């Protein structure tokens, strides 16, 4: 995998923002899987599709938080990287979270740099945290 051809699963409930992120990622050469809710995300995560990066907008509607959704799927996808998006400044500045978080509204160039950094880092394994 190179930084230019990663497969990215985007979970974003707002259709216009999902489209904006999808177009940016496609223009950068990434393969994109889209989810408008946690059910669609779980379908992609349970499939055989390659997912190098899971981009999650928080908060999400449903029974699971973003962290719970990620931690439920990481054991079966241990090489997947994660990047969170949040409009909560408190969440974005929380350095105790195992997942990097970008503050929304976001600029696409910031998203691109954050994706590159996430893909260069080793995958997060919260179950191994001490």
**36-77, pLDDT tens digit by residue?**
999 999 999 999 999 999 999 988 888 888 888 888 888 889
Give the pLDDT of residue 112.
94
**d(C-alpha 91, C-alpha 102), whole Å:** 9
The structure tokens 């990434």 sit at 30
- Residue of higher predicted confidence among 117 and 126: 117
Give the pLDDT of residue 130.
40
HSE, side-chain direction, 13 A CA sphere, residue 106? 26
Q: In a 3-state reduction of DSSP, which class is residue 63?
A: coil
DSSP-assigned letter for residue 56: E
Q: Name the pairing type of β-strands 31-35 and 101-103.
A: unpaired
- Residue of higher predicted confidence among 130 and 52: 52
Fold of 7-119: Rossmann fold (3.40.50)
* 59 φ/ψ angles, rounded to the nearest 5 degrees: -80, 160
Which whole number is the average pLDDT over 82-101?
A: 77
Give the pLDDT of residue 93.
61
Give the pLDDT of residue 104.
87
In contact, 110 and 83? CB cutoff 8 Å? no
In contact, 55 and 7? CB cutoff 8 Å? no
Residue 110, C-beta contacts closer than 8 angstroms, at least 6 positions apart:
102
Q: How confident is the model at residue 26 (pLDDT cuts 50, 70, 90)?
A: very high
Give the pLDDT of residue 30.
95
Q: Examine the pLDDT at 28 and tell me if it is beyond 90.
A: yes
């Amino acid at each position: 995998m190179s930084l230019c051809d990663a497969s990215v699963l985007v979970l974003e409930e707002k259709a216009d923002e999902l489209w904006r992120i999808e177009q940016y990622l496609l223009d950068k050469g990434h393969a994109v899987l889209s989810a408008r809710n946690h059910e669609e995300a779980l379908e992609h995560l349970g499939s055989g599709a390659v997912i190098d990066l899971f981009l999650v907008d928080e908060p999400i509607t449903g029974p699971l938080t973003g962290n719970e959704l990620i931690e439920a799927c990481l054991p079966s996808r241990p090489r997947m990287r994660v990047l969170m998006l949040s409009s909560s400044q408190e969440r974005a500045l929380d350095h105790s979270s195992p997942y990097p978080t970008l503050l929304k509204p976001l600029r696409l160039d910031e998203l691109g740099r954050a994706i590159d950094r996430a893909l260069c880092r080793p995958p997060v394994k919260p179950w191994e945290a001490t």
